[in-house]
Amino acid sequence: MTTTLEQILDDLSTIIADLGVIRENVSDATDRSVINNQIRDLSQWWRAIDDQRAAQTNSELDTAKTALARITQDLASEKKKLTQVAVVIHRGAQAVAIAEKVAQRLV
């Protein structure tokens, strides 16, 4: 099984957090200094690995974003269609209203 960069980052952050807890319980200056330097060193590793992780592509997200943008466009065109339908029906209603008035005058 291949270890992913995400898993390495998870493990590293757990180790750093554990060191932080140990640091809180250590009062000897020399021991604290050792722990402090370990935390600093591992933090830099964490950032270096995070930098590599961030360089990875995310095609799934790219696809999702493109698809959502397309759906957004579809929705805009559906709105246009709805407006057109409403306009046609409204014109029909206007025509009926005029026809009724004309008929009333003729009677």
Nearer to other proteins, 1 or 104 (CB): 104
Alpha-carbon separation of residue 49 from 7, 15, 29, 40, 74 (angstroms): 11, 15, 30, 14, 41
Contact between 7 and 13 under an 8 Å Cβ cutoff? The reply is no
Counting contacts by CB under 8 A, is residue 98 touching other proteins? yes
Asked if 11 is part of the footprint of other proteins (rule: CB under 8 A), the reply reads no
Indicate the burial class of 15 (C-beta count within 10 angstroms; 0-12, 13-18, 19 or more).
middle
Q: In whole angstroms, what is the distance from residue 1 CA to residue 40 CA?
A: 30
Binding test (CB under 8 A) with other proteins, winner from 8, 13, 22, 26? 13
Contact residues: other proteins, CB under 8 A: 9-10, 13, 16-17, 19-20, 23, 29, 32-33, 35-37, 39-40, 43-48, 50-52, 54-55, 58, 60-65, 67-69, 71-72, 74-76, 78-79, 82-83, 85-87, 89-98, 100-102, 105
